[in-house]
Structure 1
């Protein structure tokens, strides 16, 4: 019923949204003699924000048509390497790579399946493209998948990652952004126990909930306050018509978005106030940046109910991975088996979703991994989103990850290790408490 009410509310706003859009065009028309008066600019800005707030947003475009390599602009082509029911393995193929000129490390970026589209990590891809052969998990909106198709849970997620690593082959590197840190570490643990030849050379986990008992955030506390049956009754609903996934049980993206906004309600209210001021003042560049951020932020997708519920129970309630009690299919998930894959953990000082110490726990539950294959970075003054997008990501975090990858790449490694010692400022190679 909740999803039906949401759709009714969305459709009921359509006439008002259309009127608001028409008013905005009329007020901003060059033929309007009062277009530059304060009152008209305020009315036009109000109409603009109303239309923006009531609009539904589909999957954004990647818009990564080029990258810059050695000062030269290079064309980038999107290529779907594997097509699965719930996810495509997308390859960003660079022109120099097609010509055989580049032999950069293979990098699999595991985008979060937590309510937003994979395009949320566009900044991550953009920063890594010049120096890596980049692949990414491009998740699909569950409401667009017919109920007759396969189900998808946390075990399937781990299976997908193992399959993708087998396709990409040995000496692949992985970056797990937030939520996928758990299935990524699980996949590496299982493959390590197998002695798999396609084991990734390195795994970087960014703001991931490896052990949510450490510095619990509001998100972690909510998961612990209610039994799993409460989540099944209150936040799992059926997809309504006319979506292709009608009657499929999902955790709706609009609930996740509401929770994210509620966590920082005053900050978002202030941000929209700034957008209004930019529009009134005619600061189009600042307004466009603010609008673009929210168009990306408010583009949400539905999650499979079985995946959501299993994740809540396994990761946030039972803490199965750090306890050594997690099972993927019939395979015990034991990080102690990891001896060959280098691990890097990155956390944000101001992260209000994954608290300090939650990601670093991965270094503590891998006792058989050598210290020189472990690295930790605490980014000062950085929140959750800033760990993989924005200025501090580009200037500090991404360069550290690139150096880490090159140091542990099986083909490049030896030549990069010397440089690593002098360039990894703020990173503790043993997983200690040094900050950067």
Structure 2
């Protein structure tokens, strides 16, 4: 099961279409996708009935190799042709100070394209350890925020956790207006105002650029609601540094190619009918094609596990791919503006990025501590791309800045998995505590640049 080095949606991971796929494809592909999905409904229903029939323990065929093989084939067909819906968070409790407490997930701020979720812990006794408020800014790049379930779970025991849950663009009616990169930055500023600024921002991958831009705008205007710190994880701050295949694809083709070939309109009967979007199913094609052999091997392994009755391994596969294959549409204007700003023109590191007609100046950031985290084997945001934020934020005191490289992990491992839980998350927690105690002045404890090395 491909748990590391998977592409989770740093823009540019488009399917490898011909150089001039043409406007006909972009105009009709979503409608064709919907039609083909509807046409397969009877076959999918028959396949599901077959699977249930052959897995019934009262059916003698269910105990034969033939029956197990047909049941496994039926399940594989149903999974290959299914539309995967938004997964549930399935976070109901956590452990705080050695005591298990319930967790209630409630929206505390909402706009048409996003809502802020609060993972409220029902604490019976005040914890002894300080519980900083952290806002995890999830990527708006194809997958749902639930892909960061493990990230949330890692912070819950010692933090008051919030997360941005972006809304599938096909579910937002045209009457709600547009949503672009400028709106994204506005949303982040509005969230910080709603929380009173007493928080820490953790940007996972794609949001690193708008988070840095939002904080820079707020600092330039002396906004009192700036966060204590910002943590940028595996983000494309400067994709000219150690460019990856994803970065080169976007730069070589240019934004006009993406506009002509991957933008389409939402079809009926979705609420967002006729909205211009970059469809999630097309983005998923790009994700899968980057590691096609690994995904094929994982599904072959699932088939054999189903035949031999290895339920635990099959269930792990289902859980992973139920999450991985659930995708959402992005508004065309947000997608294209991000591709152009971040991957084609590199406006932020050049000092040319604008927000509502005002230039973004990272050197205006003085009071917000900065931590950047990268993965040694990241094939989406190459080494050094996130660290570039330090060169832009020249006026943050050195003892309120840090950089960390985690050995042996790819893009996914920067924010999830065993090494994230054991090595990255504790460093972030320590940095957040120190940044909070030192807001408005240099933190008492220095944080040098740290690059961990694998032990041979």
Question: What TM-score, normalized to structure 2?
Answer: 0.90
SS in 2 for 1:299: coil
Of residues 97, 105, 118 in structure 1, which corresponds to 2:145?
A: 118
Q: Which residue is equivalent to 1:202?
A: 229
Q: Which residue in 2 is equivalent to 1:395?
A: 422
1:260 and 2:287 equivalent?
yes
The answer as to 2:237 corresponding to 1:219 is no
Unaligned runs of 5+ in 2: 1-27
Q: Which residue of 1 aligns with 2:4?
A: none
SS at match of 1:382: coil
Residue number among 380, 392, 411 corresponding to 1:384 in the alignment: 411
Q: How many residues align?
A: 425
1:140 corresponds to: 167
Which structure has more relative contact order (CA 8 Å, sep 6+)? It is 2
Contact 2:206 2:235 in 1 (8 A): yes
Residue 30 in structure 1 maps to residue 48 in structure 2: no
Cα pair 2:47 2:75 within 8 Å, conserved: yes
Partners of 1:33 and 1:174 in 2: CA distance:
57
- Structure-2 separation of matches of 1:129 and 1:9: 42
Distance 1:14 1:135 in 2: 38
Q: SS at 2:175's partner residue?
A: coil
Q: Which moved more, 1:335-344 or 1:292-301?
A: 335-344
Q: In the alignment, does 2:333 pair up with 1:306?
A: yes
| 1:347 and 2:365 are equivalent in the alignment | no
Question: 1:349: Cα distance to partner?
Answer: 1.5
Looking at structure 2, the residues matched to 71 and 433 of structure 1 have their Cα atoms a distance apart, in angstroms, of 32
Q: State the SS of the aligned residue for 1:96.
A: coil
TM-score, reference length from structure 1: 0.94
Distance in 1 separating the partners of 2:413 and 2:42:
37
Contact residue 148 and residue 416 of structure 2 kept, 8 A: yes
CA shift at 1:331, angstroms?
Answer: 2.1
User: 1:22-421 maps to which residues of 2 (within 5 A)?
Assistant: 22-96=49-123, 104-410=131-437
Aligned-partner Cα distance in 2 for 1:342–1:91: 23
- Whether the aligned pair in 2 keeps the contact of 1:27 and 1:40 (CA below 8 Å) is yes
Give, in whole Å, the separation in 2 of the partners of 1:126 and 1:219.
Answer: 29
CA distance in 1, matches of 2:318, 2:444: 42
Deviation at 1:101, TM superposition (A): 5.5
> Any stretches of 5+ residues in structure 1 without a counterpart?
422-428
**Partner SS, residue 112 of structure 2:** coil
Q: CA RMSD in A?
A: 1.9
C-alpha contact 1:363 1:431 (8 A) present in aligned 2: no
| Distance in 2 between residues matched to 1:417 and 1:391, nearest whole Å | 30
